[in-house]
A and B are shown apart, each in its own frame.
Chain A
């Protein structure tokens, strides 16, 4: 006997399926009836009928999908991937989503949804983040998690991944990830370990069934779920038209407190975050700002980690200080400090060796104690 959720899992993986279509298929019907209508076994009526009328090709495709994605096979896929299928009627379906205007028709979950009962803060940002940005994300993730706040993010490259890494560095923390593709398909691949760890310790949530590819259109949809699930959203770095701005807008529409980490005017990676500040987001210069918004005791915040790196000496101190303000090229260091190329190269190599500086594409950035989590 295939449970009703199996039919929903099958339907969610149909070609060109959207949240709205899935919702209207399941409205007032059992999943089995919805499935029969979608595959053409039963007569469509109401909105579904008009959908097929407008787009006859869709009916064709869904009929073919019915052969490919039987409820049985889709259910088995979920069992194999250890993914639970949660429907809006189920007791553990997140309450925050139920009265959302665009409530998902189904959630595919790895892990335990009960972690959402704790205080929740979202940390999002650009995928092409700077070293500094990733460090900030890791720091916020770590410090929030050590206050037993659930860190919610998108597990993408850049800021998202660093926020999760920071949160996971705290023993017993239970971070939550909302992803835009199948929960069994780590994307990007280099974050595979991170995915599994988040799923094991917290929860990994997707609107799409196992096996779904990471298509570009799914990520903005994912962002609305993330925005709906958090109490406070922190944008660490974002470009002028970054996906994090979509999350921010969705959050603003839902009355979620919005924070942005201020960045340099020169940094394109911070352009979006600065724009949010101008539009009224609160500046997050420290994790305390976020904790105050949550009404949590902030005196215990800022628990710092032990820094084991050897202290810089001689010329290195000045060079490091210059790189702290903004990333510098070796040429700029030579000119600013009026040193020879060889001397700068040697000092910079030493700083790099001891972990104070990091080079990317010829630019040297100061590394703070959060770098290993960033």
Chain B
């Protein structure tokens, strides 16, 4: 007897449809799975058998062959458990074959027959097409976001068997409607003083400029960085779905509604491996931090402590907005369009006011050389963050709130969108004169900087883009970029380190 069940597997952040074909016939009792299953799929055999028996159904003593079609491409994950169990039950005549027409199954089985959620249901549901989808209760929100057909929620295999043999209606496992209370985002009002750093965050959010915060320990770099994503506008439906797919595929936490509407914020530790950051793994191609921060903010604290290989892995996604991963036999393209914010100390000892640093030149050089030139160059904003003084700290008047700043950010982003159809950081050099014309005095200032070798060609374009964003953020945005805008943009792209190894020019 033969059965074919629809299911899906996960591949990077994409779902792929899989037909689970089951053949049960005479022969020595055996249970084989073919079609490039990996170890987790081969283990399905034992889980499926135990779950079926725990559910009160009979497990056939015939020879069972399961084929996962198409047979090329490695299948991975425990999401095929349910489809395999149902397939075996149909092929051995326990369930009528017509009962699964128009149904697809995704879910992991427990030995007691209970259904467990798996990661990546959102992209897998997208791959199923118009079939009705049976998923564990825990995956309800994710599946519903994407599925074109009905979504059936099941808590236990015995329930499902009851439905399929026609003894019971579909169970009602509707999760309690959750009030979509977005997770609280840290508020910018908590930051005391620090007008320059605040200004930098606003500019970074408005123009999507990658930002490097440089400052001694305790100057509030982490506090500032974790307030950047709160300034970004909420995601529109398409982008929200893209982001949700990636998070689902990585098994990251999703909000109760299933849809991530707020830009994500990711802060991997500096000991993270290259695979953790850009994604990968031997068979599974799990999305990395760069993909999880797609449409959001990737925060690298103590960026100089990251491995140089790990950091250089960021260059491609920074350039292209996607990450291409290839392993033997597997290729995947994952989205990775993020806003990078990094933080570091000015030198190994932490630095501070002029004359406070105790580092030798060699130690300082070693420290700064951990960041490669091309990476440093990707930061449009390089901001010195200073410890607030005591007066600022004790001053109880709160700073501007995230909501107030976000309003300006959204307006500036719209302005840029209407003007050039993109964010300011993406302005090509050849359109700068058209979209970011300079006032004569602003041109003079830039000329002076270049004549004194403090500005290279690349730095010149970056400063003009940042100045454009600063001009867009004014209460009354002007078409031309003024001297003040350029002066501020230059201050927001400061030199790093006492010894000026990485000058403004770079």
Contact = CB atoms under 8 A, between A and B. Distances in A.
Nearest to A133: B355
Contact of A341 (B196, B354, B445): B196
B166 interface: no
Interface string B324-366: 0000000000000000000000100001011111100100000
Contact of B355 (A128, A345, A349): A128
Interface residues of B, number: 38
A157 to B, nearest CB: 8
Contacts of B487: 342, 345-346, 348-349
B54 interface: no
Contacts of B384: 329, 361-362
Nearest to B470: A342
Interface in A113-140: 128-131, 133
A349 B445 contact: yes
A331 interface: yes
B175 interface: no
A359 B389 CA distance: 19
Task: Categorize the interface residue count of chain A.
Answer: 35 or more
A188 interface: yes
A289 B96 CA distance: 108
B205 to A, nearest CB: 16
B386 interface: yes
B195 A335 contact: yes
Contacts of B353: 266-267, 326-327, 363
A188 B354 contact: no
B45 interface: no
Interface in A204-247: 237, 239
A361 B354 contact: yes
Interface in B433-489: 445, 448, 470, 483-485, 487-488
Contact of A359 (B470, B483, B485, B495): B495
Interface string B113-151: 000000000000000000000000000000000000000
Interface in B379-393: 384, 386, 388-389, 391-392
Contacts of A334: 195-196
A304 interface: no
B193 interface: yes
A278 interface: no
B195 A361 contact: no
A360 B484 contact: no
A342 B485 contact: yes
B448 A343 contact: no
Contacts of A177: none
B195 A130 contact: no
B221 to A, nearest CB: 13
A353 interface: yes
22 contacts: A128-B355, A266-B353, A270-B355, A327-B353, A330-B196, A330-B491, A331-B193, A331-B194, A331-B195, A332-B389, A335-B193, A335-B195, A345-B484, A345-B491, A346-B483, A348-B487, A349-B491, A359-B495, A360-B500, A361-B384, A362-B384, A363-B354
Interface of A: 128-131, 133, 157, 188, 237, 239, 266-270, 326-327, 329-332, 334-335, 341-343, 345-346, 348-349, 353, 359-363, 365
Shortest 10 CB-CB contacts between residues of A and residues of B: A362-B384, A269-B355, A130-B355, A349-B487, A346-B487, A345-B488, A342-B484, A345-B487, A346-B484, A329-B386
